[in-house]
Amino acid sequence: MNRIKQLFENRNNRKLLSIYFTAGYPHLDDTLQLAKILEDSGVDFLEIGFPYSDPVADGPIIQYSSEEALKNGMSLAYLFSQLKELRKHIKIPVLLMGYVNPMLQYGVEHFCQSCAEVGVDGIIVPDMPMYEYEELYQETFKKYGISNIFLITPQTAVERIRKIDDLSTGFIYMVSSYATTGKNLTVSEETTAYFKRTKGLNLKNPLVVGFGIADHASFEHALQYADAAIVGSAFVRLLSQSDYLQQIPSFIEGIKGDVVV
């Protein structure tokens, strides 16, 4: 069974935390070291970003990390070479997150095969159209056992959400607002209504909230309506500190806190 499905099926009502970071930032060869520290600090699954020159869904913090990673020499080929050692060190699920253009340039089948070979469990590609995935790539993803994670927003129609639920094999990424990454989660009536509305659909797949989760309060609020939450920009911001490796355990502890389940 895919590690993502195992995680959610065996979580015993634990509320789960995912961390996003950009491969190649702040240093080219940080990838496995960061993954190991994050797992040891209690993170439940990881999202490793593969950088792209035009990250339109990302705010300035992750955009900057992508620019720096590309300057450092990060590429998909280099990332997969790093991840050859992944499963010698990391047990938790790992997803790659990025944009469709680098994946197409690498070759979709080659990409899925490389993911399977190194032990990557799924991918998140926000700008890959659903119909293209269904018509062109779904069978390739199934062949290699790779989960494709779709995003929904407050504007996503119920019919489309249910279609995404049918196509999904991991979880559904519930974007907290129609904005780029890095904006703090606004606990508004509108956001809460969106969370409640989506939870009320009783979907087959777990719901994972992302965009704007930056501290224990926003993590706890999201987990009233979802099975997990993702911290991205707040963690990438931490990586700009000179002692970022030493700060990671306390950062994770501060996010997770004592969440009531």
Catalytic annotation, residues: 47, 58
Q: Which amino acid is present at 240?
A: S
Residue 62, Cβ density class (10 Å: 0-12 exposed, 13-18 middle, ≥19 buried): buried
| CB burial string 76-101: b at 16+ within 10 A, e below | bebbbebbeebeeebebbbbbbbbbe
Tell me the C-alpha distance between 160 and 166, whole Å.
Answer: 10
Tell me the C-alpha distance between 89 and 170, whole Å.
Answer: 22
Number of residues written out for the chain: 261
Helix crossing, 244-256 with 31-40: angle to 10°?
40
User: Using H for helix, E for strand and C for coil, what is the string for 62-99?
Assistant: HHHHHHHHHHHCCCHHHHHHHHCCHHHHCCCCEEEECC
SS3 of 148, please?
strand
